[in-house]
A = this chain, B = another copy of it.
Amino acid sequence: MSLPPGWKREEVVRQSGLSAGKTDVYYFTPDGKKIRSKPQLARILGEAFDLSAFDFRTGRTVYSACRKSKRQKGSSYDFARGVRHDASLVLPIRQTASIFKQPVTVIKNRSESKSKAELKHGIQDQPKQIFWEKRLQGLRACDSNEEVIPSMELPKQVQSIGPELTTENVLQSISAALHINTGPVVGQGASKQVILKNPSINMDTQQPHIQQILVSSDDIHRQEQRVQLARQKLQDLIQTLE
């Protein structure tokens, strides 16, 4: 168990009195400020951090194991429960017992050179669950009036790879890849059968859960024409308005 860089955790055993033997836990921020309680920690970290799963005493986060709220006064906690995690802008991460980085077994199935290359460009500090999008199934984005914002449709060529992924899941997968990847986003190289047989090994976790699409020069042409058509319409419209 390690803390974010610069932070320290101290455990002090009480030496005497009625509570002898009990321990007090303190944290120290990178600039040396002493933190004595969870509320204090929350005040310092600000709203952006969700500490509901963080156990101040042990220094670890536990997902969905200890329920315990201590939400100031307004007992509206039950209402917001389960939403808070999804509300954060972080991708869902593996649900094991440590907040911090954990070693993961690398299984080599392919030629050595390939797996090394993958490792090199692909280091993420938060390992994703393989089909993390499924955790978002059933949730819809709303605008401020609580109207559900309709989702997009995908061209038929875009074929998903994975266990019953919805259109939204595929979109989530693609947009996350576009957001995170430094390299090109091209979809899965391996065949659907191979991937579904053993996703944890054969899935390329850097790529969205779609089959690679062949883009022909015809496709590019059609798209160019569409763009030109749209521009033309816009121009016409602007002229009519002036």
Contact = CB atoms under 8 A, between A and B. Distances in A.
Interface stretch (A34-42, A54-62, A212-220): A54-62
A60 B62 CA distance: 12
Best-surrounded residue of A21, A64, A66, A198 (most CB of chain B within 10 A): A66
B201 A78 contact: no
A97 interface: yes
Interface residues of A, number: 20
Contacts of A200: 105
Interface string A27-69: 0000000000000000000000000000101101011111100
A96 interface: yes
A63 B97 contact: yes
Given A55-B65, A62-B65, A65-B66, 7 more contacts: A55-B66, A57-B67, A62-B97, A63-B97, A97-B97, A105-B200, A107-B201
Interface of A: 21, 55, 57-58, 60, 62-67, 78, 95-97, 105, 107, 198, 200-201
